[in-house]
Homo-oligomer: A and B are copies of this chain.
Amino acid sequence: MAIEGSKAGERSPKIRLGMVGGGSGAFIGGVHRMAVRLDDHFELVAGALSSTAEKSLASGRELGLDPDRCYCSFEEMAEKEAARADGIEAVSIVTPNHVHYPAAKAFLERGIHVICDKPLTSNLEDAKKLKAVADASKALFVLTHNYTGYPMVRHARELVQSGELGEIRLVQMEYPQDWLAEPIEQTGQKQAAWRTDPKQSGAGGSTGDIGTHAYNLGCFISGLEIEELAADVHTFVAGRQLDDNAHVMMRFKAKGGGMPAKGLLWCSQVAVGHENGLKVRVYGTKAGIEWVQADPTYLWFTRLGEPKQLITRGGAGAGAAAQRVTRIPSGHPEGYLEAFATIYSEAAAAINAARTGAPVDPAVTYPTIDDGVKGVAFVEACVASSRQNGAWVKP
């Protein structure tokens, strides 16, 4: 129960937060706001929630924002908030992908911390430019690969880091969904429309939307970096502009003189029967683990030659890394919003340190601009490999 907003001792003032995107009807904006509130480190005070003045104001009013701080564009918000004495210290960017780069740039260049949705940008060129901006800025950049906030994901990573799995041999990732099994983007479904539009999403459909999550998580848990991949990326639904299924074989870089690990990644938005079937399995010479996002409370852990163990969030066997991001006792499930909130709490810890110049607690862990660049590189490598009929490509 380590990360409720109110901890013993001195309390930090809330961090003033703005939001770009997330107006009425958006899905992920509401998720970010609930996540923000849960641990109480931030106060939402400004927004460029929609692209028109009227909508932005209306959405802001619903959220109780000061109308003066409801902006029509991120540029306006960046400029005006940077000029205020009580201006925002951080901003959440929750727009379609193609807006991430210019919006993040506008805030980073003004020293405002950025918490940005994934994938980082809609193309690798933008991603690299954004990295340069972020590296040059004093402000922090946090990417919301929210699944890394689950306690059992942290525990999985800790098991790997502590050597419990031995040398890693295999990383198997999958993220099947079925919500795009039919061409619902042609019927005006807003979430589907931008996600299948290359102008807004970039080169990847399922690869960008969910494949990046699976890839990020596989790397986060295993601690490995990819060497090369061979992909068969495909669009099943007629008329769709971006991929809705991908099969990817991977080879990782060798670590410490060992044998390189291999991996397999499957992402799909047409796999009927799956809601958000994100699953990561990692196998080493000494043990194997399995984690499933739909049942995030559990981590299967099996040492070679021993019975399987079911480690639970908050329960016996969950180590320090998991306990650190656990709010309530075992047996009372935490879910997706809690994991999302953990990313914000980690960001808050880093921002609070930045406020005073104090060192950041080394346990603080969040996805960075580098993870973002890797994710976009992964998408483009998948597409490139597939165009070369599955040739091995280095992302």
Query: Which residues of A pack against B, CB within 8 Å?
Result: 1, 4-9, 11, 14, 24, 27, 30-31, 33-34, 37-40, 61-64, 169-170, 172, 177-178, 181-182, 230, 232, 234, 236, 245, 247, 249, 251, 259, 262, 264, 266, 268, 270-277, 281, 283-290, 293-297, 300-312, 314-317, 327-338, 389-390, 392
Top 7 nearest A-B pairs by Cβ distance?
A: A275-B331, A276-B331, A273-B302, A273-B288, A272-B288, A307-B317, A333-B335
Given A333-B294, A390-B230, A390-B249, A270:B6 Cβ within 8 A: no
Complex CA gap A297/B275 in Å reads: 12
- Residues of B near A30 (CB, < 8 A) are 1, 4, 6, 327-328
- Chain B residue at smallest Cβ distance from A230: B390
Distance in Å: Cβ of A142 to nearest Cβ of chain B: 20
Complex CA gap A169/B329 in Å reads: 25
Q: Give the copy number.
A: 4
- Residues of B near A24 (CB, < 8 A) are 8
Question: Are B283 and A262 interface neighbours, CB within 8 A?
Answer: no
Q: Select which of B6, B276, B309 is within 8 A of A33 by beta carbon.
A: B6
- Residues of B near A14 (CB, < 8 A) are 64
- Residues of B near A287 (CB, < 8 A) are 272-273
Tell which of A61, A276, A304, A331 has the most Cβ of chain B within 10 Å.
Answer: A331
Complex CA gap A331/B389 in Å reads: 33
Pull 21 A–B residue pairs with CB atoms less than 8 Å apart, ordered by A.
A4-B30, A4-B34, A6-B33, A34-B38, A34-B39, A37-B37, A37-B40, A169-B236, A170-B245, A170-B271, A230-B249, A234-B262, A247-B249, A264-B266, A272-B302, A274-B288, A275-B315, A275-B330, A276-B332, A333-B335, A390-B390
Complex CA gap A184/B307 in Å reads: 19
- Residues of B near A38 (CB, < 8 A) are 34, 37-38, 337
- Residues of B near A392 (CB, < 8 A) are 389-390
